[in-house]
Every structure is written in structure tokens, then in C-alpha cells.
């Protein structure tokens, strides 16, 4: 069981009454967050993989669709754009880390307790915003490719790689595409780096969570930039081969993000947890009938 967070309470931001107090952190705090995230993953590996198995599956499906429909230029933007949805995709992992930190049971079903959080509606709202950013990124990436090569399509992956790496238009595409992608990634980092853990922990609204996340980035520009690079590097590694490594990378980053939140935000000593009503246990013998309770007499 993970021990409760006992961070250094010195060098904190002033309490301005506008929201949670933001602490200044350093690179060592990022390492500690990753280390604790890895401990969480080792403690509940099967649960984390079950939660995230859809992630590499979707990646494989998208890769096949992209190849089959000869729209190879969107393969990299689709893979890179997953990072924009990652903070929302990991909400169940935040719940597992929260429960381990509090000494509560952490199982696969417990991860879905996040759906009963008082702030789950706010999480959905911010998730919709991230989805909008993802769609805007894909549309922008398509526009950049069209500006470079027109509506010309590549016959296969080697042909596409040759177009991109051996022509002036290809290098223009790389520079502009990476620059625009950086702006989307920066926007996502600013609004969501600690937003979902804050909503889960303190039941904050989406507006307060976004504002606090932006304040955390502004107070810690270099550590947050380093965190963004760490996330990007791990996602690249996890995408090889065929996105299968994401089954480990996504749980690790999800758990680590919870602990990053603990490093950045000063705990509220007056906070009281909101305990949802107990969920009735359903015997295994009733499966699959217990999936359809309205049909039971």
C-alpha cells in the first residue's frame, strides 16, 4: 500500500482566495511522481491494463484504417493526437491512485467509482473540450499536408516517407506540422495537467480546475515543460511497436499524474471526502443477468 503524500510544504504560492494553493516544484518532484506512479502500476497492474487495453486497440484499428483508406498523412497526427485525450482517458487510474494513497481497496471495479464522483459532469465537460482540441488538431494537420502536397496521396508507407524526407515540401511539412502540434500540446498541458485529479480530489468545477492548472504551469514553467517532454517521449516509446507499449505507458503516466498533482497542490486540511453510497455486491452466479437489472422480476 502506498503511503499518504507528505510533501514539502515550504515554498508555496500565496493563497489568493481564487482556488487551491500552488506549490513550486523541481525536477526531483517529477521523478518522485513517476516513481510513485510506477509503484501504483506494480501494485495494480492487471487493473490498469484492463482500463487501458482499449487505448492500444484503438491505435491498431486507426493504423489499419489509415493504411487501408490511403490516408497515410493522418497516421502520425492521429497517433500524436492521442496525447490530447490522455488526461481524460486516465480518470480511472487517478481513482486507483487516490484509493491506494488513502489505504482503501483498489480493484478494477473501484476504478469505475470515478463515474459516481460529484464532479464527474465537470470531467465530462473538460473531456469534451479535449476532444474538440483533438478534432481541431486532425483538421489542422490535414490542412497543413494539403498546403504542402495538395491532394496527392502516397501509395504506401515507403512512398510516403520518401515524399516527406526527401523533398523541400516534406521538410516544410515536418517543421510546420511539429510547430502547430506543439501549440496544441501546450494548450492541452496548460488546461489539463492537474485538472482531472483536482476535480476528483476536491470536486472542483471545470473552470476552477482549468484556472488552477494554468496557474500551476505559470508558477512552474520549466518543470511543466520537462513533464510535457517526458510524456511525449514515453508516448513515442509506447507507440512502438504498433502502440502495444501504451498498455504500460498510459497506466504509468496516469498514476504519475495523480502524484504530480499531489506535488503541485498544497493539501487542504479542512477537506472532507464525499463518500458515495455503498454499491450493492452482485453474486457471480447472477451474471450476466445482473447486467440488466430492469429485466429482473
Which pLDDT score, from 0 to 100, does residue 209 have?
95
What are 182-192's pLDDT values in tens digits?
A: 999 999 999 99
| Cα–Cα distance, 255 to 242 (Å, whole number) | 23
SS3 category, 23: strand
The region, left, alpha or beta by phi > 0 then psi within -120 to 50, assigned to residue 72 is alpha
Residue 267 grid coordinates: 493539501
- Nearest Cα neighbor of 98 from 206, 200, 176, 214 is 200
Per-residue pLDDT, 89:
85
- DSSP SS3 for 22: strand
Q: What is the pLDDT of residue 127?
A: 94
- Asked if 99 and 106 touch (Cβ cutoff 8 Å), the reply is yes
Nearest to 95 by CA among 118, 123, 114: 114
Length of the chain: 297
d(CA 174, CA 177): 5
Tally of CA atoms within 13 A in the half-sphere of 23 that contains its CB: 18
Please identify every stretch of the chain with a pLDDT value under 70, giving residue numbers as ranges. 1-18, 46-71, 108, 154-156, 241-242, 269-297
Question: Is 276 in contact with 116 (CB distance < 8 Å)?
Answer: yes
Determine the Cα–Cα distance for residues 264 and 22; give it in Å rounded to an integer: 6
pLDDT number for residue 149: 84
Cell of 40: 501504483
What's the pLDDT score for residue 53? 62
CB-hemisphere CA count at 13 Å for 251? 26
Q: What is the pLDDT of residue 32?
A: 96
pLDDT of residue 103: 87
Say whether 106 sits in a helix, a strand or coil: coil
CB 245 within 8 A of CB 55: no
pLDDT at 59: 61
> In terms of Cα–Cα distance, which of 282, 213, 260, 265 is closest to 40?
260
pLDDT tens, residue by residue, 149-188: 887 776 667 777 887 888 888 899 889 999 999 999 999 9
What pLDDT is attached to residue 109?
75
* Contact by Cβ (8 Å): 96, 47: yes
Sign (positive or negative) of CA dihedral 5, 88, 180, 178: positive
Cβ–Cβ < 8 Å for 247, 56: yes
Query: To which residue does cell 514539502 refer?
Result: 8
Amino acid at each position: 500500500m502506498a503511503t499518504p503524500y507528505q510533501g514539502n510544504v515550504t515554498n508555496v504560492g500565496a493563497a489568493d482566495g481564487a482556488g487551491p494553493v500552488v506549490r513550486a516544484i523541481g525536477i526531483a518532484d517529477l521523478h518522485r511522481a513517476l516513481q510513485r506512479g510506477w509503484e501504483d502500476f506494480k501494485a495494480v497492474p492487471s487493473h490498469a491494463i484492463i482500463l487501458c487495453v482499449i487505448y492500444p486497440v484503438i491505435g491498431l484499428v486507426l493504423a489499419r484504417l489509415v493504411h487501408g483508406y490511403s490516408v497515410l498523412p493522418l497516421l502520425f497526427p492521429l497517433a500524436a493526437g492521442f496525447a490530447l485525450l490522455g488526461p481524460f482517458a486516465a480518470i480511472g487510474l487517478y481513482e486507483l491512485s487516490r484509493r491506494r494513497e488513502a489505504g482503501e481497496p483498489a480493484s478494477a471495479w473501484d476504478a469505475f467509482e470515478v463515474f459516481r464522483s460529484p464532479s464527474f459532469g465537470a470531467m465530462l465537460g473538460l473531456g469534451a473540450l479535449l476532444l474538440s482540441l483533438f478534432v481541431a488538431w486532425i483538421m489542422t494537420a490535414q490542412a497543413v499536408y494539403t498546403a504542402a502536397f495538395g491532394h496527392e496521396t502516397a501509395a504506401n508507407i515507403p512512398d510516403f516517407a520518401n515524399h516527406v524526407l526527401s523533398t523541400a515540401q516534406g521538410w516544410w511539412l515536418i517543421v510546420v506540422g511539429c510547430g502547430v502540434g506543439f501549440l496544441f500540446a501546450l494548450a492541452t498541458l496548460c488546461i489539463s495537467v492537474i485538472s482531472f485529479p483536482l476535480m476528483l480530489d476536491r470536486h472542483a468545477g471545470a473552470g476552477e480546475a482549468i484556472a488552477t492548472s494554468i496557474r500551476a504551469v505559470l508558477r512552474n514553467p520549466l518543470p511543466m515543460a520537462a513533464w510535457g517532454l517526458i510524456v511525449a517521449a514515453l508516448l513515442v516509446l509506447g507507440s512502438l511497436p504498433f502502440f502495444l507499449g501504451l498498455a504500460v505507458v498510459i497506466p504509468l503516466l496516469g498514476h504519475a499524474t495523480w502524484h504530480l498533482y499531489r506535488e503541485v497542490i498544497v493539501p487542504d486540511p479542512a477537506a472532507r471526502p464525499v463518500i458515495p453510497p455503498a454499491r450493492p455486491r452482485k453474486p457471480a452466479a447472477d451474471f450476466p443477468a445482473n447486467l440488466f437489472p430492469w429485466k429482473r422480476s
